[in-house]
Amino acid sequence: MLVAAAVCPCPPLLVPEVASGAAPELEGLRAACAEVLAELAEARPDRLWVVGATDEPHAGRDRFPQGAYGSFRRFGVDRTVRLGQRSGPGDDARDELPLPLAVGAWLLEQADWAGPCEARCVRPGERPEECLRIGAELAASAPRTALLVLGDGSACRSLKAPGYLDERAEPFDASVAAALLAADTRALAALSPARAAELQAGGRAVWQVLAGAAEGAGLGGRLLCDEAPYGVGYFVASWS
């Protein structure tokens, strides 16, 4: 049963070494992520699932165990992470984790996460009904389950955004923010994959995994961040 969930964005710029001189610009976002992860720890789950969306090839794998490696070497940064464990200078980084899950592993490292955890990735274009099924499966995997859900909103929020400006982007993200605030599983489940793809909203699939996991759990929502500093929607929310 799902007892708590945290929703965070997953831009690599969250990692200060990757952001470099721009690191201070996202300090507020990092602080909000730290706050929702602290709330996850307070829920004392038997298992934490870190969920992200990716099309990166990983030999057909969609699950990753605690201790799986990731790195940020593609950004020219010699920084490794291990899912749910501390990484050290002698670790052999094998880039096992897809990028969103590597960001999640970094967030857990910053939070000194000490409990059991695993990771699950879904395709950004996964069908809503399959996302809901996956969520229900994850929620049922332990008596007390928690989710760390990693996904960004529309990348079309400004003229300088990766997807350029689309006037539909802000209303779309506003509907997501409202659903996260209200812990509205039906609203998340109803998000259109086609519209999300048009607006380059990479978090749609993982939010629907959350909807499937939280159905009937009676959780309440809290929205800590709803912003678009680089023309990309970033949300931080806590369900408990």
Q: Which two tokens stand for residue 135?
A: 């969520």
Q: Which two tokens stand for residue 183?
A: 């812990």
- State how far the Cα of 88 lies from the Cα of 86, in Å rounded to an integer: 7
Q: Could you tell me the domains of the chain?
A: 2-239 (3.40.830.10)
Mean pLDDT value across the chain: 93
Each residue's pLDDT tens digit, 89-107: 545 555 589 999 999 999 9
> Per-residue pLDDT averaged across 114-120, rounded?
94
Each residue's pLDDT tens digit, 176-186: 999 999 999 99
pLDDT score of 218 more than 70: yes
- State how far the Cα of 182 lies from the Cα of 233, in Å rounded to an integer: 18
Cα first-last separation, the chain: 12
Lookup result for tokens 């609203």: 187
pTM over 0.85: yes
Count how many residues are written for the chain.
Answer: 240
Q: Which residues contact 119 (CB under 8 A, 6 or more apart)?
A: 49, 50, 51, 52, 63, 64, 65, 68, 83, 97, 101, 104, 105
